[in-house]
Amino acid sequence: MTRRRPGVLRTVREDLAAARRGDPAARGDLENAVVYSGLHAIWAYRIAHRLWIARDLPGSRFAARVVAQTARAFTGIEIHPGARIGRRFFIDHGMGVVIGETAVVGDDVLVFHGVTLGGRGGAHGPGAKRHPTVGDRVVLGAGSSLIGAITVGADSVVGANTVVTKDVPPGSVVTGVAGTARPRSGGEGVPSL
C-alpha cells in the first residue's frame, strides 16, 4: 500500500512543529523558517526528492542533484535526493549531516549535527541497499555515524559520537565506538516527539 503524501502546507506546518518540539530554543515559526538551516535542508530535500522520483521528466535526476548540492552549499547539510525521509523530521544544529542515497528514515526522527547515514563498500548497482534504515521516533546524537545497510529500530537513541555498524533492536540506547545496544529505560534520551 502506498502512503499518501500530505500537502505542501501541512508538511511545512509539521516540519515547523517538529522544530519547536526538537529545539527548546525555538522562538517561533517565522524565525525558525528564516534561520534554521535544518528546515531549509529538509525543504530542499523534499523538492529534490520529488524531482528524483519523477522518472517521466527528462533531466529530473540531474535537476534533483543540483537542488541537493545547492542546499548543501547553503546549509552544510548533504541529503541525497534518493534517500527516503519520513514526516516531521528535524535536524538541530545541522552542520555536517550527511544522508546517503539508499537511506530510509522514519517519522518523528531528531538528528543533531555531524550525523552520518553512510554506505559501506560491497553493495553496487542500481537499487543496491548501502545505507541505514532508521525507525520512527529515533534520536541520533551529535557526531554519530550509522554505516551500512543496517536497521536502527523505532524509539531508539544513538548517543553522541557513537559508531553503529550492526542492527539495533527497537527501544534501545546505543553508545560507544562499535556501538553497543542495551534496552532503553524511561528517562533516557530527549522528550518523545
Residues 56-74 pLDDT 10s = 888 999 999 999 999 999 9
pLDDT at 122 > cutoff 70 = no
Length of the chain in terms of residues written: 193
- Grid coordinates of 52: 528524483
Higher-confidence position of 187 and 46: 46
pTM exceeds 0.75 for this model: yes
pLDDT at 6 > cutoff 70 = yes
pLDDT at 191 > cutoff 70 = no
What span, in angstroms and rounded, lies between the C-alpha atoms of 2 and 126? 22
- Across the beta sheet with 104-105, the strand order is 84-85, 104-105, 133-134, 151-152
Nearest of 90, 73, 89, 72 to residue 81 by alpha carbon: 72
Maximum mean pLDDT: which of 18-22, 131-135, 185-189: 131-135
Higher-confidence position of 156 and 55: 156
